Structure 1
Amino acid sequence: MEEGIRSNSDAVRPDRPASLAQRFRRTVLANLLVILTVAGVTAGVCIGVGARHMQLTHAQVVYVGFPGELLIRMLKLIIIPLVVCSLVSGAASIDPKALGKLGGWAMLYFLSTTVIASVIGLALASAVRPGSVTAGGVRPPPLDEGFPQAREAVDSFLDLLRNIFPSNLVSAAFQTYATSYRLIATNGTDGVTAIDKVPFGTEQDSTNILGLLVFAMAFGVVLRNLGEKGRILIEFFGQFNEATMHLVSWIMWYAPVGIAFLIAGKILEMGDVGTLFVSMGKYVGCCVLGLAIHGLVVVPGIYLVFTRKNPYAFLWGIVTALATAFGTASSSATLPTMMKCVEEQNGVSKHVSRFVLPIGATVNMDGAALVQCTATMFIAQLNGVSLGSAQVLTVLVMAAASSVGAAGIPAGHVLTLAMILEAVGLPTKDISLILAVDWIVDRVNTMVNVEGDAFGAGLLQHLVDRSSAPAGQEEMELRLREKIQDLPHVQIQLGSEADAPA
């Protein structure tokens, strides 16, 4: 008997290494894209650092970054059909009452996390004081003349409203409205010449995602209200969206190569790496530390409190999207990858992800708000200016508000930083220092932006599941009660005491 047991156990042992190997192989295949993407980031850093001693010309550096440029072009190609089709089909598939509730919770989450990120940026900059001492007395070089004019706070808000309601839907695909200024001299009655700063509208070459987003949502709601008449169009946009997601899956297999050469090209574009990081190390460290606190503690903590689920397991599911965000430095370009990750890896339904993520890519810029607050405090300290409580509050409010309209493109948050600096009386020419190291800060910033969008989708999926659970439970209990009542010996217990036989 013992020999039989021993022989059986020995027969089982050879299978164990095979099962472990198969399990390892399945794990690698399931996470192959993540592994390749991380390898691409590592390879990009190694190529960039290794090629710096070769003294490449500017043209050769551009050629090095060409495979990465192709990746960005392909991702941008997908953005408009993805956003429009996903929002139309998503809004059309959700009940109007649920749509309003879902949108309300999404905006509450986005606003709350943005304010928290702004507070973290202000607190860290005040504690670390990155601009109090500059290594070697480095001052910013002259600002590029092509940098956009800083807008007044009122005009920035009005531009946001104008872009929400574009005058031409076709032009909104490649142009956004932006206010510029012209100076006009007027002679007063007392003979004194006054200079008026008169705003006028201009069209800039940039996709008006916000306008397309609002139109797609409204169009989807209208199609749902049409009932059977709108079903054909709803199915059309749904199938169009599925086809677009298949294209995204093809592009993602090229992403590791593109990301590697994007990072390598950026490293080669830098000047003296040592001097740059010595002079701006405290600012970069302060931004990265704040973004790490917000991205690894605050946002996962909010997810844990409300869902009671492991946030870092959720975070692992979007590693590919985070690596794409780091390589492209664009939350809009990362949108296709993020949709694929949260749906396939984290179990978020298409209705939720394709409704929430496009909104988040446009209005949820936690990292941008944090970096803007840190940069403002840094420039103030650099110029020996002590901001009062009213000015700090102004920075907080404007960073949170302006991040909503920040473009989801590389260095998009820098475009609104000039507005904040002018509001508190700080020189906008010092933005050139921010631009000098923004290539690394912007990448971490974008990772936090898209991470916040993903966790927002996960939170709203939890709310949707929880709100639908009681209804399903009630239906199950009702059916169970009906079945129990069919049994004669149980009917007495279900009735009242007066119904019980004597």
Structure 2
Amino acid sequence: MDEKHDQTMAMLNDENHPPRTRIDDNQSRLSKCCSSFLGPLRNNLLLTLTIAGVFLGFLLGFLVRTSNPSTETIMILSFPGDILMRMLKMLILPLITSSLITGLAVLDPKSSGKLGLYALTYYFCTTILAAILGIILVQVIRPGERASKVEVKSDIIRGDPAADQITTLDAIFDLFRNMFAENIIQAALEQVKTTREYLNVSNIKTNTSITKVKFNTRYVAGTNYLGLITFCCAFGITIGTMGKRGELMLHFFIILNEIVMKLVKLVMWYSPVGIMFLVAGKILEIEDLLQLARSLGMYALTVLLGLAIHALITLPLIFYAVTRQNPFAFYRGMLQAWLTGIGTGSSAASLPVTFRCLEETLKLDRRVTRFVLPIGATVNMDGTALYEAVAPVFLAQLMGRQLGIGQLIIVSLTATVASVGAASIPSAGLVTMLLVMSAVNIPAKEITIIFAIDWALDRIRTSVNILGDGIGAGVVNHLVRSELGPPDLEETENIDAPIKARTASEISTGRRLRSRDDSNETSKL
């Protein structure tokens, strides 16, 4: 009886007090649930903070607007964002030079030629598709017939005397002039621009006057990325042809690239704060949101619809047709760069983040990204091409003019050329848009109408430019991966090997000499 009683009590104790192993199992399940929820946040902490920075920037901007802030308050609020822009721009020049030179120096000329051919073909096709899409949408929606003219004061274009004299021929010639810079140091600070000066020359004998055109080339502020890219491409290919004699110079640029990427990682932890204040400051600069929505709402809707179609349909279809992979999974890896583009409004300033996303998150071959991305940030402007195709047709509709088929073709081709010449800086598309407007005889002063909405559209089209660069790198990486050999620049390890081997042999030789000297000295003693 006592034994049965003890067994019954033991069973009751087991039911009331579960064993320690059962408690541990419950705790392990709870910890697994927490890790499954917090794990992605912890692994993507920087991305989470960046998304939070964008939303907090919108919230902060609309909250501060209720107090009617002064211009000094707006300047102070925008200051942390200005610091972020300066830090990112500081890294652009060393990043482009080191990445291009190291990317091309480890490639044989045949591989680099194929990389360039694939990349430029992709850039041209997507840019012309974006421009054609913009023209189709603006002709179907016709936002200019639904909008009312607004006068907006702006100083983005500060009295350029030759602004009305921009022609397509001048823009094409300026592209080639900037590609072959006469001073590589000056190319880091200024770029060439052609201006036309019309002179009335009188003939005393015939008592008539003749108008002659005088062409002048002058330098304007802004980094000449085309010139830098051309020089770095030639420099990197030449190092690759020198064999062992060029190893020391290549090793220098490899180390430089690694240092710059470490600096990029440090700057990225400040980017959520900078992006928040950049967005808030831009919202505060808008004078009247309601008037802006009434006057330019359909125009903004047309541009945003075109950008959405290009980013969510055109580019993914191209990526899937070539790689047979999920393009939206690829987009997820580029989310950090996309958000940085929205905050900064500059594809060049976002270039360090784009490198980090493609190389570390999406694991693309560094030889491809180092060649494709710097060139793409300069010449691949899909969003800008679409925007510059929509705006002149919108302004023509606002003026009551109807553009014919021939003029629309001119707009699409000129918008493609102008987007290539657009600098990778905020609101640069407004300046090159004068080229498209002059091609269809629209006065340059009419561009002031769209100044008020440009800041917002500029950030969206910049983010589309960044997505286009990333998709281009993914497409080129898929096309050439079988020809490049082992990924991740394993050739650079072979570059270090001879140096390490020489160093080891020198050390061992020195030890043998020292031991021989020591033995001679002991024998003498």
Q: Same fold (TM over 0.5)?
A: yes
Does structure 1 retain, via aligned residues, the 8 Å contact 2:146–2:298?
no
Which residue of structure 2 lines up, in the alignment, with residue 415 of structure 1? 431
Deviations 1:191-213 (A, max 9, x none): 23233342201111101111001
Question: Hey, what's the Cα distance between the residues in 2 that align with 1:141 and 1:379?
Answer: 17
Question: Hey, what's the Cα distance between the residues in 1 that align with 2:23 and 2:69?
Answer: 63
Q: Aligned AA for 1:129?
A: R
Q: Which has the larger radius of gyration?
A: 2
Question: Hey, what's the Cα distance between the residues in 2 that align with 1:212 and 1:24?
Answer: 46
Question: Hey, what's the Cα distance between the residues in 2 that align with 1:191 and 1:84?
Answer: 58
Q: For residue 10 of structure 1, report the CA deviation from its aligned partner.
A: 8.9
Does structure 2 retain, via aligned residues, the 8 Å contact 1:143–1:429?
no
Which residue of structure 2 lines up, in the alignment, with residue 428 of structure 1? 444
Deviations 1:152-197 (A, max 9, x none): 1111111111100111011111111111232311114642323334
Q: For residue 9 of structure 1, report the CA deviation from its aligned partner.
A: 9.0
| Structure 2 gap ranges (5+) | 1-10, 12-17, 487-525
Which residue of structure 2 lines up, in the alignment, with residue 181 of structure 1? 196
Question: Hey, what's the Cα distance between the residues in 1 that align with 2:229 and 2:405?
Answer: 37
Does structure 1 retain, via aligned residues, the 8 Å contact 2:111–2:484?
no
| Structure 1 gap ranges (5+) | 471-502
Which residue of structure 2 lines up, in the alignment, with residue 241 of structure 1? 257
Using a 3 Å threshold, how does the CA distance of structure 1 residues 241 and 144 change in structure 2: closer, same or farther? closer
Matched, 1:38 2:51: yes
Instruction: State the SS of the aligned residue for 1:426.
Output: coil
Which residue of structure 2 lines up, in the alignment, with residue 116 of structure 1? 129
Q: Aligned AA for 1:184?
A: L
Does structure 2 retain, via aligned residues, the 8 Å contact 1:173–1:208?
yes
Which residue of structure 2 lines up, in the alignment, with residue 497 of structure 1? none
Which residue of structure 2 lines up, in the alignment, with residue 258 of structure 1? 274
Deviations 1:359-406 (A, max 9, x none): 000010000000001101101101111111111110111111121111
Does structure 2 retain, via aligned residues, the 8 Å contact 1:140–1:430?
no
Question: Hey, what's the Cα distance between the residues in 2 that align with 1:231 and 1:90?
Answer: 14
Does structure 2 retain, via aligned residues, the 8 Å contact 1:143–1:432?
no
Note the 1:278-317 alignment, pairs <5 A.
Answer: 278-317=294-333
Does structure 1 retain, via aligned residues, the 8 Å contact 2:111–2:483?
no
Q: Tell me the number of residue pairs that the alignment of Structure 1 and Structure 2 aligns.
A: 466
Question: Hey, what's the Cα distance between the residues in 2 that align with 1:147 and 1:31?
Answer: 46
Question: Hey, what's the Cα distance between the residues in 2 that align with 1:298 and 1:98?
Answer: 27
Matched, 1:104 2:104: no
Using a 3 Å threshold, how does the CA distance of structure 1 residues 56 and 332 change in structure 2: closer, same or farther? same
Which residue of structure 2 lines up, in the alignment, with residue 326 of structure 1? 342
Deviations 1:54-83 (A, max 9, x none): 222212211110000000000110010000
Q: Structure 1 vs Structure 2: percent identity of aligned residues?
A: 39
Question: Hey, what's the Cα distance between the residues in 1 that align with 2:259 and 2:170?
Answer: 40
Note the 1:323-472 alignment, pairs <5 A.
Answer: 323-467=339-483
Q: For residue 139 of structure 1, report the CA deviation from its aligned partner.
A: 5.0
Question: Hey, what's the Cα distance between the residues in 2 that align with 1:147 and 1:344?
Answer: 45
Which residue of structure 2 lines up, in the alignment, with residue 484 of structure 1? none
Q: For residue 11 of structure 1, report the CA deviation from its aligned partner.
A: 7.0
Which residue of structure 2 lines up, in the alignment, with residue 138 of structure 1? 150
Instruction: State the SS of the aligned residue for 1:180.
Output: strand
Q: For residue 344 of structure 1, report the CA deviation from its aligned partner.
A: 0.9
Q: Aligned AA for 1:233?
A: M
Using a 3 Å threshold, how does the CA distance of structure 1 residues 143 and 255 change in structure 2: closer, same or farther? closer
Does structure 1 retain, via aligned residues, the 8 Å contact 2:134–2:389?
yes
Could you tell me the TM-score, scaled by structure 1's length?
Answer: 0.89
Which residue of structure 2 lines up, in the alignment, with residue 474 of structure 1? none
Question: Hey, what's the Cα distance between the residues in 2 that align with 1:208 and 1:145?
Answer: 19
Q: For residue 119 of structure 1, report the CA deviation from its aligned partner.
A: 0.9
Question: Hey, what's the Cα distance between the residues in 2 that align with 1:239 and 1:142?
Answer: 44
Using a 3 Å threshold, how does the CA distance of structure 1 residues 147 and 117 change in structure 2: closer, same or farther? farther
Does structure 1 retain, via aligned residues, the 8 Å contact 2:152–2:451?
no
Using a 3 Å threshold, how does the CA distance of structure 1 residues 12 and 350 change in structure 2: closer, same or farther? same
Question: Hey, what's the Cα distance between the residues in 1 that align with 2:233 and 2:156?
Answer: 39
Question: Hey, what's the Cα distance between the residues in 1 that align with 2:22 and 2:107?
Answer: 56
Matched, 1:167 2:182: yes
Question: Hey, what's the Cα distance between the residues in 1 that align with 2:287 and 2:253?
Answer: 48
